[in-house]
A and B are shown apart, each in its own frame.
Chain A
Amino acid sequence: MNAITPRNAPGNTPEHAYNFAYLDEATKRMIRRAILKAIAIPGHQIPFGAREMPLPYGWGTGGIQVTAAILGPRDVLKVIDQGADDTTNAVSIRRFFARVANVETTTRTAEATIIQTRHRIPERPLTEGQVMVFQVPMPEPLFRLEPRLAETRRLHALGDYSLAQVRLYEDIARQGESGSAYNHPVMVGGRYLMSPSPIPGFDNPKLHNSPALMLFGAGREKKIYAVPPYTEVRSLDFEDHPFKPMRAPQCCSACGSATSYLDEIVADDQGGRIFVCSDTDHCAETQGQ
């Protein structure tokens, strides 16, 4: 293992001050063990010893640790925040890994081998060999339904998810449709109920039978879970009220796409608003065609 020299020592480039990808090798091995376990039991939350990271909780400490643990020198990293490559969070995390791991970074979904994401799955279909890393604020899907964590673990063990189904019943009884536009719970492999992290319901179908590996890291809650490639992922619903992914009915005002997920932006102080793709890479690609 490398001896750690002071970061500001003269003639020292920043990346030499840290081990490859910031975390020490023992920590990375611990996280990899948790990831392997998570892949072996799709949708099941595996506890791990999350470390303090050089960014606050809620900014992606879980995702960044998972990325650090799986990152290799030949990987190409893409980081998105709500679909965008150019927001503060995405830019900072991308620069962080460029600096401490010296890996190539990209904004293009097609070129990336690892995509760390906050709350979106790219529009371009993922391929085999790609890994999605999700930043998860609250890994427990029964949170807000059952306040005791010990009891939620028991319900997971028994596969008793009637509580989540009752919540859905209540939503439909009250407003005629599911009340969750994002973070809509999914059943993974017909066994575990899983929180897909706060991705919009629009992205839920992309989890189903995806050729890419999906890893979820929750730093504050110290949990890792995974959806291996080609795994059945079904959004919770009723036979006669099937799950409907939602999307604004407009077209993107930048690229004109009528199928991508849109952000609503207030354009002026007269109440005018425009809709643009949330996935900036997809939008640029469509505009280039």
Chain B
Amino acid sequence: MSAPLLEAARLQLRFGAVRALDGVDIEIFPGEVVAIVGESGSGKSTLLRVLAGAMNAEAGTVLYRDAEGEAHDVHALTEAGRRKLMRSDWGFVHQNARDGLRMGISAGGNVGERLMAAGDRNYAHIRAEAAEWMARVEMDPARIDEPPKNFSGGMQQRLQIARCLVTSPRLVFMDEPTGGLDVSVQARLLDLIRGLVSQLGLAVFFVTHDIAAARLLAHRIVVMRHGRIVEEGLADRVLDDPRHAYTQLLVSSVLAA
């Protein structure tokens, strides 16, 4: 097996008296989907932000291996280096599409921005790529010049995913990408993400409180509580044979339809 794409060791972070991260070790391999589950306040979103370098931990390291196999300490990078990584190798899908999109700019501009940031200066090519990615996330490419505010919540989320994937990243961070959507839209979005992930061979960190979404997407599940990882393992093992008392509670709390 190849070396991990991203590995974090002994991450520590406190917010006042609250331990948001308490000695967290986590790693992800190329092409792997890791779900981070837990209740609100368990530190899962904080963990994601620390892994993505958007927030610094008080202690611990995050190492990222680029396409050449060279390891970078994410928190020791300069801001320029981190931004470069963010727009070439990584993608971040926010829970709220408004945080990840520019609401005043057309759908095509939103998808094209990452290409332009990466140095593409050919208008026709940018536009063709944007239209193609809109089609791939099952949006109508004819609406390329409409601003995101014309789109429904589910469509905005698809647009955000297209914007992330257009520069073909290797690692994508998703923070509750299906939060706030109704169940049928959620199901279609999860189906889309699953398809894209397997086509593109993406590695994905996927934060969710939705156990069903984790079962559908994840290869591996990490359960967090009070800033600690209480259990981790293959998705079906964790969900069908939970060992930690908290995981058992979490799994048994899911309502059967």
Chain A residues proximal to chain B, CB less than 8 Å = 154, 157-158, 160, 162-163, 165-166, 169-170, 172-174, 237-241
Give which listed residue, A158, A170, A172, A173, contacts B80 with CB less than 8 A. A158
Task: Assign chain B's interface to a size class.
Answer: 20 to 34
A169→B83 contact, CB < 8 A: no
A173→B117 contact, CB < 8 A: no
B127→A160 contact, CB < 8 A: no
- The answer to whether A170 and B83 touch (CB under 8 A), given A162-B116, A162-B117, A241-B123, is no
Q: Which residues of A contact B114 (CB under 8 A)?
A: 162
- The answer to whether A240 and B117 touch (CB under 8 A), given A158-B80, A169-B109, is no
Q: Can you report 27 A-B residue pairs in the complex whose CB atoms are below 8 A from each other?
A: A154-B79, A157-B80, A158-B79, A158-B80, A158-B83, A160-B83, A160-B117, A162-B114, A162-B117, A163-B113, A166-B102, A166-B113, A166-B116, A169-B112, A169-B116, A169-B123, A172-B123, A173-B144, A174-B145, A238-B121, A238-B122, A238-B123, A238-B126, A239-B122, A239-B123, A240-B122, A241-B123
Main secondary structure of the interface of A (DSSP, over half): helix
- Interface 1/0 per residue, B221-246 and A, CB below 8 Å: 00000000000000000000000000
Q: How far, in Å, is A287 (CB) from chain B's closest CB?
A: 42
Q: Which residues of B contact A241 (CB under 8 A)?
A: 123
Q: How far, in Å, is A166 (CB) from chain B's closest CB?
A: 5
Complex CA distance for A238 and B116, rounded to whole angstroms: 10
Q: Which residues of B contact A162 (CB under 8 A)?
A: 113-114, 116-117
Complex CA distance for A175 and B133, rounded to whole angstroms: 23
Q: Which residues of A contact B106 (CB under 8 A)?
A: 170, 173
Give which listed residue, B80, B83, B116, B127, contacts A165 with CB less than 8 A. B116
Q: Which residues of B contact A238 (CB under 8 A)?
A: 121-123, 126
Q: Which residues of A contact B127 (CB under 8 A)?
A: 173
B105 within 8 Å of A (CB atoms)? yes
Chain B residues proximal to chain A, CB less than 8 Å = 79-80, 83, 102, 105-106, 108-109, 112-114, 116-117, 121-124, 126-127, 144-145
Q: How far, in Å, is B217 (CB) from chain A's closest CB?
A: 30
Q: Which residues of A contact B121 (CB under 8 A)?
A: 165, 237-239
| Interface-central residue, A154, A163, A170, by most chain B CB under 10 Å | A170
Q: Which residues of B contact A158 (CB under 8 A)?
A: 79-80, 83
Q: How far, in Å, is B129 (CB) from chain A's closest CB?
A: 12
Q: How far, in Å, is B10 (CB) from chain A's closest CB?
A: 30
Q: How far, in Å, is B236 (CB) from chain A's closest CB?
A: 42
Q: How far, in Å, is B28 (CB) from chain A's closest CB?
A: 27
Complex CA distance for A157 and B83, rounded to whole angstroms: 12
Complex CA distance for A238 and B121, rounded to whole angstroms: 5
Q: Which residues of B contact A169 (CB under 8 A)?
A: 108-109, 112, 116, 123, 126
Q: Which residues of B contact A173 (CB under 8 A)?
A: 106, 108-109, 127, 144-145
Given contacts A173-B144, A173-B145, could you give 5 more A-B pairs where the C-beta distance is less than 8 Å? Answer: A162-B113, A173-B106, A173-B108, A237-B121, A240-B122
Q: Which residues of B contact A154 (CB under 8 A)?
A: 79
B105→A166 contact, CB < 8 A: yes
Complex CA distance for A90 and B112, rounded to whole angstroms: 44
Give which listed residue, A160, A170, A239, contacts B105 with CB less than 8 A. A170
Nearest neighbor of A172 in chain B, beta-carbon distance: B123
